[in-house]
Structure 1
Amino acid sequence: MKRNVLIIGAGGVAQVVAHKCAQNNDVLGDIHIASRTLSKCESILETVHAKRAMKQEGVLAAHQVDAMDSAAVAALIRETGAQIVINVGSAFVNMTVMDACIETGAAYIDTAIHEDPAKICEIPPWYGNYEWKKRDLCTEKGVTAILGAGFDPGVVNAFARFAADQMDEVKSIDIVDINAGSHGKYFATNFDPEINFREFTGTVYYWEDQQWKETSMFASGREWDLPVVGTQKAYQSGHDEVHSLAANYPKADVRFWMGFGDHYINVFTVLKNLGLLSEKPVMTAEGQEVVPLKVVKAVLPDPSSLAPDYTGKTCIGDLVKGVKDGKDIEMFVYNVADHKEAFDEVGSQGISYTAGVPPVAAAMLVASGEWDAKTMKNVEEMDPKPFFTLLDKMGLPTRVQIGGLGGEDKAWDA
């Protein structure tokens, strides 16, 4: 059994993680949250108390730490007695936080791939550039590291594994992410604008015919007729989970599709063409050096501020095609989440909710020993069934359409 959790980060996803950890502190023990800005951590804890989220009396504490300082993170892990670290900070801090976990023996869980601030869209497979280089060390030290345990990546990896386990051969995995909600702002991103834009300005890599192929953002789009949210246009995008699923299912085509409206595409295109999405510093006429992408981030709404007025639903799932007993088979494994319901429960919008609930479920499985792998794993390398069981109870139920989209719809364990 592992107990006591340290949450790294204080954004919208961290708020969901804090609430869900509090709701399950009988399993997880003491709950600590840390970021560079102590006041942000304290504000999140205020929302936890306001919602009376603590399942039982226990420690709920805020701390200040620079997550880029691995020694400081290690010291905080020791100070708090945390045996599980949930990293929902910037993607730039993954490796320093992971190093602190390896040093202290704490289990490590994150929700997105590591990024170097000076580089955009490195060569695939992305995990091979950073995280996987620490796999042997995790094995040597007996340290559990669960990579990409948000929704996408994360739950969608488990969806793929669940479908693949029911097939003799997997031919293709298409991950579809649709946010059919509305935040009422002229323009905003649903998570960190800097990470959001970096994700969409680089090459779109996908796995097809057992090799990496390339396209550009918004060059490849199609309509998807999905449960609840209906027909939606989605575009092929580069995304974390493609890079691990391609390694674990090398004979299958693996693609990621994300929904975008015309307004988002228009604004994005203007910003990009003006050079405002560049991560390279420029000099103003007044002699001040600025990074255009960081300026854009500074003037856009904070994603956590979108929650009160967000309405509508999300639908995220995997269309998996393969062969069973010599016959073609299709399954669409998915979840539908509601923005207002998320806000009512934890004070966050649905995108943060879908990203924040799964790492807490993963932490609970590590705590119980079911996912305490004592090495590094991507989510599809773990048994998805106990994961789904917890997610069902925690607000993200898994559904399956047998026969592909529009097929017989049922609960995953029906």
Structure 2
Amino acid sequence: MRKNVLIVGAGGVGHVVAHKCAMNNDVLGDICIASRTQQKCDAIIESVLRKNHLKDSSKKLYSRAVNAMDVPALVELIKDTKSEIVINVGQSYINMSVLEACIETGVVYMDTAIHEEPDKVCENPPWYANYEWKRKERCEEKGITAILGIGFDPGVVNAWCALAQKDYFDTIDTIDILDVNAGSHGKYFATNFDPEINFREFRKVWSWIDRKWVLQKVHSIRVDYDFPVVGKCPVYLTGHDELHSLSKNIDANSIRFWMGFGEHYLNVFSVLTNIGLTSEKPVKIAEGVEIAPLKVLKALLPDPSSLAPGYVGKTCIGNFIRGTKNNEPREIFIYNICDHAECYEEVESQAISYTAGVPVAAAAILVARGEWDVKQMVNVEELEPKPFIDLISTMGLPTEVLEAPTTFAAPVIESLETV
């Protein structure tokens, strides 16, 4: 059994993770929230207490300040807090330093996104091989459980792929991961999670098609799909974290990711990009100061966590999977619907943060119980999916399965470049 959790990061996802861990602290033990800005951690704690979510009041819920790029400081913090499970929900720039601290201290590591270097955007696939997977051998040698990408996408969608391969199909032809937010936050323009990381995704579109990596232009391929509950929405072929591990671990001919964007979002994004404001490359201003335009844009846009109070509508994230079972063609859509207003009522969050945060807390519970404490580095699809899917269903993210759903009619995708 593992106990005591250190949450590194105090953004929107960290907020949800803290609530859900507090609601299960009889299993998880003491909870420490750490960030460069301790006030953000304290605000989350105030929210947890305001909602009366600390299940066992004899367990501690407290904060610390830490620079997550400082490995010795992280090592000291892990030891001082006696944490046995470290949840990294900070910017993806810190993955390697947090992972290194966990390896050095022999504790569990988990994150929600692939590692990024500030000066490298949309690296060539399989991206995990550049960073996390290089530490696989060390994790196995030291018996370190490291669970990569345990949010929703990546995360839950990976578990659905494993479940489909295990129970629903004998062979899989195509997996299309579809993510649409049919909600409204009422702002002129905003991103639902860190704008800096969000905009960096939209540079290249790498997809796994016919068992090879194929490159396409951003927002160039659109499909209108009739989703359960939220109805018809446009989705665009987009590169995404989970493709980089699913291509290795799931036996499918093609795996693609599609994200929903409205016309207003695309128009504003195009203008910002065309004038250079989504660039991560520093520019020198008249006073001689160098700053990346993307960081300025991040400072100007609403904090994603501030969107929660007025958010209405729902999200739908699902996997449309096509293959065969018992020599017969089969198509299923396995999905979740999440309501923004309900998330705010429960944990004072919007649904994007909620869908990313609940799975992390569920994974921590499974590790604490020993069910997912595998003592090696894994991506989510390498783990037994059923306990996880069952648990998140009880924690606010139920899974639904449609047999023979509305067909997802993706066009033939011709490559600009292959790997």
Q: TM-score range by the shorter chain?
A: over 0.9
Aligned partner of 1:411 in structure 2 is none
- 2:416 corresponds to: none
Partner Cα distance (1:401, 1:186) in 2: 35
The root-mean-square deviation of aligned C-alpha atoms, in Å, is 1.1
Secondary structure of the residue aligned to 1:53 is: coil
Name the structure 1 match of 2:258: 257
Distance 1:233 1:257 in 2: 9
Structure-to-structure mapping, 1:12-161, within 5 angstroms: 12-57=12-57, 58-161=59-162
Q: Mapping of 1:183-194 within 5 angstroms?
A: 183-194=185-196
State the distance in 2 between where 1:251 and 1:232 align: 26
**Helix, strand or coil for the counterpart of 1:176?**
strand
Distance 2:110 2:291 in 1: 33
Indicate conservation of the 8 Å contact 2:74/2:98, yes or no.
Answer: yes
SS of match in other structure, 1:287: coil
Unaligned runs of 5+ in 2: 409-419
> How many angstroms apart in 2 are the aligned matches of 1:19 and 1:54?
8
The CA distance in 2 between the partners of 1:242 and 1:153, in whole Å, is 9
Q: How many residues align?
A: 406
Deviation sequence 1:77-123 (CA, Å, 0-9, x none)? 11111100111001000010000111111101111110000110111
**Per-residue deviation, residues 241-297 of structure 1 (Å, max 9, x unmatched):** 011111112542000000000000001001111111111111112322121010000
Within 5 Å, which residues of 2 pair with 1:233-252?
233-252=234-253
Secondary structure of 1:252 counterpart = strand
CA distance in structure 2 between the partners assigned to 1:6 and 1:404 by the alignment = 41
In structure 2, distance between residues paired with 1:224 and 1:13: 28
Residue 312 of structure 1 and its aligned partner are, at CA, apart by 0.2
1:74 and 1:177 map into 2 onto residues whose CA distance is 36
Q: 2:113–2:149: 8 Å Cα contact kept in structure 1?
A: yes
User: Aligned partner of 2:46: which letter?
Assistant: E
Q: CA deviation at 1:327?
A: 1.1
Letter in 2 for 1:147: L
- In the alignment, which of 199, 202, 205 is matched to residue 197 of structure 1? 199
Distance 1:282 1:369 in 2: 49
In 2: Cα distance, 1:158 partner to 1:307 partner: 27
Normalising by structure 1, report the TM-score: 0.97
TM-fit CA distance, 1:361? 0.3
Q: Is the 8 A contact 2:314 2:338 kept in 1?
A: yes
In structure 1, C-alpha distance between the alignment counterparts of 2:144 and 2:76, rounded to whole Å: 17
CA contact (8 A) 1:319 1:405 kept: no
Matched, 1:403 2:410: no
Amino acid at match of 2:334: V
Task: Report if aligned partners of 2:162, 2:250 keep a CA contact under 8 Å in 1.
Answer: no
CA distance in 1, matches of 2:407, 2:249: 28
Residue 52 of structure 1 and its aligned partner are, at CA, apart by 0.4
Taking the aligned partners of 2:248 and 2:98, their CA distance within structure 1 comes to: 24
SS at match of 1:397: coil
Q: Which residue of 1 aligns with 2:279?
A: 278
Q: Which residue does 1:216 correspond to in 2? A: 217
Contact residue 139 and residue 374 of structure 1 kept, 8 A: yes
> Which residue is 2:377 aligned to?
376
Cα displacement (A) at 1:343: 0.5
Verify the 8 A CA contact 2:19 2:53 in the aligned structure 1: yes
Secondary structure of the structure 1 residue equivalent to 2:331: strand
Matched position secondary structure for 2:334: strand
After superposition, the C-alpha distances for 1:294-340 in whole angstroms (9 at most, x for unaligned) are: 00001000000000000000000001111111111111110000000
Q: Which amino acid aligns with 1:359?
A: V
Residue of 182, 185, 190 corresponding to 2:184? 182
In structure 1, how many angstroms separate the alpha carbons of the residues matched to 2:390 and 2:250? 24
Residue 233 of structure 2 aligns with which residue?
Answer: 232
SS for the counterpart of 1:17 is helix
Query: Does the aligned pair in 2 maintain the 1:188–1:301 contact within 8 Å?
Result: yes
Give the alignment of 1:336-351 within 5 angstroms: 336-351=337-352
Cα deviation, residue 163, structure 1: 1.1
Shift, 1:405, TM fit: 3.6
Contact 2:106 2:144 in 1 (8 A): yes
CA distance in 1, matches of 2:324, 2:180: 27
- Whole-angstrom CA distance in 2 between matches of 1:405 and 1:161: 22
Name 1:317's counterpart in structure 2.
318
- Distance across 2 between alignment mates of 1:400 and 1:19: 28
Quote the Cα distance in structure 1 between the aligned partners of 2:352 and 2:204.
24
Counterparts of 1:369 and 1:52 in 2: how far apart (Å)? 28
SS in 1 for 2:201: helix
Shift in alpha-carbon separation, 1:251–1:340, aligned structure 2, 3 A: closer
Q: Distance in 2 between matches of 1:120 and 1:176?
A: 23
Q: Partner residue of 1:305?
A: 306
Of stretches 71-80 and 278-287 in structure 1, the one that deviates more from structure 2 is: 278-287
8 Å CA contact 2:172–2:251 kept in 1: the answer is no
SS at match of 2:67: coil
Partner secondary structure for residue 181 of structure 1: coil
Query: Any runs of at least 4 consecutive aligned residues in structure 1 with deviations exceeding 6 A, and if so which?
Result: none
Unaligned runs of 5+ in 1: 408-414
Q: Deviations over 1:123-172 (max 9, x none)?
A: 10011110011111100000000000000000000111111112111111
Does the aligned pair in 2 maintain the 1:210–1:250 contact within 8 Å? no
Q: Which residue of 2 aligns with 1:410?
A: none
Identity over aligned pairs, percent:
59
State the distance in 2 between where 1:366 and 1:231 align.
Answer: 38
Contact 1:331 1:401 (C-alpha < 8 Å) held by counterparts: yes
Partner AA of 2:10 in structure 1: A
Aligned AA (1:174): D
